[in-house]
Chain A
Amino acid sequence: EVQLVESGGGLVQPGMSLRLSCVTSGFIFEDYGMHWVRRTPGKGLEWVSGMSWNSGRIEYADSVKGRFTISRDNAKNSMYLQMNSLRPEDTALYYCAKGMDPGETTMLYGFDMWGQGTMVTVSS
């Protein structure tokens, strides 16, 4: 059974940092692109960042570029999101999502498996 489990969310003040983790099981992690997607209250889903299977391709949404850093550890079947200089508008439920197509180096695919999310609240 494929599982994706996020952790690391919490309540932080503006300007502070958080590191999210996504631990996976049930599939060959090193073969698939992985992404972070957030759902903000009242605004729906927003893609945050994605990374190809071999870490050769990394992309960020404009809203987080320069503040967030995505990474993965294939030996641990895990993905991470380092979030710095957090803003109130970053408040959201953060999901990790698995790309559908193995070995794909673009971002042109759907996400066939999702975690349950970890909540990040940025407020003073």
Chain B
Amino acid sequence: SYELTQPPSVSVSPGQTARITCSGDALPKHYAYWYQQKAGQAPMLVMNEDSERPSGISDRFSGSSSGTTATLTISGVQAEDEADYYCQSADSSGTYVFFGGGTKLTVL
């Protein structure tokens, strides 16, 4: 079964830059999508097709992908950014959807 690997946790101080990675063998072939999930809330799409920011998402959020790693970058981190972040993509056949294990972003 295909796996997308994320670090379990990332911690940064307010104002710093947080980078959350997602590794998967099929990422050179398929886009990565990123979701933010705050406690008690539904997931929210914060990055579409590797680097496209959906309407209404702060420009502090950016995305990139190179080789087998996709990265979500949050600049000028604020307390409100504290959440779980998940990447999503597909296996090499493009048949099945997979999520990464999630990364808990802690704002110190």
Contact = CB atoms under 8 A, between A and B. Distances in A.
Interface of A: 35, 37, 39, 43-47, 50, 59, 61-62, 95, 97, 100, 106-112, 114-117
A108 B95 CA distance: 8
Contacts of A112: 45, 48, 54
Interface of B: 1, 30-31, 33, 35, 37, 42-45, 48-49, 54, 84, 86, 88, 90, 94-102
Contact of B31 (A46, A108, A114): A108
A107 B43 contact: no
Contacts of A100: 45, 48
A108 B42 contact: no
A61 B90 CA distance: 12
Given A45-B35, A62-B1, A106 B94 contact: yes
Contacts of B99: 37, 44-47
Contacts of B45: 100, 110-112
B97 A35 contact: yes
Given A62-B1, A115-B42, A116-B42, A108 B90 contact: yes
